[in-house]
Structure 1
Amino acid sequence: MEFWVRFNGQSQAKERLIRAAQYTCTLLGYAVQKGGAGTELHQTIRQLEAHMSLTRKLLRLGNSVEALEAAKRAIHLSDSVLRLCLTISHLNRAMYFACDNILWAGKTSLIPKLDQHKWSQRSFRYYLFALILNLTRDVYELRLLMECESRYRATKASSSPSSSVSPSDDPSSAAVAPSIASAWLQKQLHLLVTVLYNNPPLLLDLLKNTCDIFIPLDRLGIYSTGPGVVGACGLASSVLSILTMIHPWLKLKP
């Protein structure tokens, strides 16, 4: 298992670069089609995209082992929510990679007469569930950080003298209820921006998972966005993944 983990660590950067190129082709193919270019150019781009997808599947052989190792590490986390989300997410990623490996074997004729559509749909379902759990983890961590920041601000405010009167003590407080709600919403938004600004790893992970989730949603027909959005989201998430590999401190832990 350790051999596969080391091997995947070396090939992961190549897979991300090819992924970025693949979704660039998806986006380019959409632009070419919308621009009314010849079908021959569009077909060439589609073939290039298919070749890159097949190469990525080859580079992901054995990634199930790494996902299982990550699940074994996550099951020992002290936080119950993180433990549940990360463990199940890694297990779903392991199943996603396993289905993807079978799909690769079918595309290369190692497994003849494989129902590629069925295995592709199965693969994307595992991928979608893993992304939902990752987003749940991101929102949970964001909520914890916002609560900490809110408590810090409350402590800081209570230490400074204030002579303001509570709106609830004012007989006309009902008239200013919309203003109070607006002020509260503005305060929460400012709190959210502050927390994300001070935690780049969480911000990048949230953006990456948000971009990625449109891909399986489109492929499964749950929320069709079209190749343009899929290509743009795939390219954006690939660039963010490459960024976390260049600067490891930007990767969200655990």
Structure 2
Amino acid sequence: MDSWVRFNAQSQAKERVFRAAQYACTLLGYSLHRAGSAEKLRLTVSQLEAHMSLTRKCDAASGNSAEALEAAKRSIHLKDGVLRLCLTLSHLNRAMYFACDNLLWAGKTGLLPTLDQRKWSERSFRYYLLALILNLVRDVYELRLLMECEARSRGSPAEEPHTAPGGVASQLQLLLSVLHHNPPLLLDLLKNSCDVFVPLDRLGLYSTGPGWVGACGLTSSVLSILTIVHPWLKLKP
């Protein structure tokens, strides 16, 4: 019950639920298309997906950019230079992404009827992609630090895995051990890895199709909801 209360108290909770529903519709639409279902049913699912997307943008229109800017102000004071750079730039790109998203919402609702939605959509996804790449760099950096720390505690070198027999297997075992004992890092790495396929597909940089995009978007949304329900699973700082 306490977890549910915390979930409802979070300003981002509803947005994540709508996002999960949106990508579930994307996945469902792809499945119906593959199955050769009736055109009317596919159109209904497509309209539902568009409605979920618009509702999500409306729900997040007011606070996400400000929250991202506040997060950037906090991260700029981190002592670790790599974390400071990655997180600050990531938060700034997220702020720009949300700002573009807000303009798109205004365009779709008719508040800005002359808005070039295609251009602003591309800009939005570019900022989103940059933020995700920086998040992945941060994840890999933290993973490397933890692997080095774990290797030192075992009394074995963390670098040059190919210099000794079984080096690759040893490094893989070390990697799995670190991820097993650090669920927040594992979830963040999985979430960002899934999310990155969405802007790559939307920008035409790496086309994977609506089925894969829907599955990745739904998975990352569920993982995000988990970090809201269980705050200890959220990677810090």
Quickly name the TM-score band, shorter chain normalised.
Answer: over 0.9
Match of 1:42 in 2: 42
AA of the residue aligned to 1:27: L
Match of 1:80 in 2: 81
CA distance in 2, matches of 1:182, 1:242: 42
2:198 to 210, 215, 218: 215
Match of 1:169 in 2: none
Name the larger-Rg structure. Answer: 1
TM-score, normalised relative to structure 1: 0.86
Match of 1:124 in 2: 125
CA distance in 1, matches of 2:11, 2:84: 27
CA distance in 1, matches of 2:80, 2:60: 30
CA distance in 1, matches of 2:18, 2:104: 18
Match of 1:14 in 2: 14
* Contact persistence 1:146–1:191 (CA under 8 A): yes
Match of 1:170 in 2: none
* Contact persistence 1:11–1:59 (CA under 8 A): no
Q: Report deviation, 1:59.
A: 1.2
Match of 2:146 in 1: 145
Match of 1:99 in 2: 100
* Contact persistence 1:27–1:231 (CA under 8 A): yes
What number of residue pairs does the alignment pair up?
225
Mapped pair 1:70 → 2:71: yes
AA of the residue aligned to 1:86: L
Match of 1:6 in 2: none
* Contact persistence 1:208–1:236 (CA under 8 A): yes
Match of 2:4 in 1: none
Q: Report deviation, 1:40.
A: 0.7
Q: Alpha-carbon deviations, 1:160-216, whole Å to 9, x = none?
A: xxxxxxxxxxxxxxxxxx9x7550000000000000000000000000000000000
Match of 2:172 in 1: 189
1:246 to 220, 229, 233: 229
AA of the residue aligned to 1:243: L
Identity value in percent: 73
TM-score, normalised relative to structure 2: 0.92
CA distance in 2, matches of 1:68, 1:96: 12
CA distance in 1, matches of 2:58, 2:204: 26
CA distance in 2, matches of 1:218, 1:182: 40
Supply the RMSD in Å over aligned alpha carbons.
1.6
Match of 1:229 in 2: 212
* Contact persistence 2:94–2:131 (CA under 8 A): yes
* Secondary structure of 1:11 counterpart: coil
CA distance in 2, matches of 1:57, 1:107: 10
Match of 1:198 in 2: 181
CA distance in 1, matches of 2:215, 2:108: 26
Instruction: Check 1:52–1:77 CA distance in 2 against 1; reply closer, same or farther (3 A cut).
Output: same
List 4+ stretches of structure 1 deviating above 3 A.
none
Match of 1:31 in 2: 31
Q: Report deviation, 1:11.
A: 3.0
Match of 2:53 in 1: 53
CA distance in 1, matches of 2:97, 2:195: 14
Q: Alpha-carbon deviations, 1:22-67, whole Å to 9, x = none?
A: 1100000000000000111001000000000000101111311000
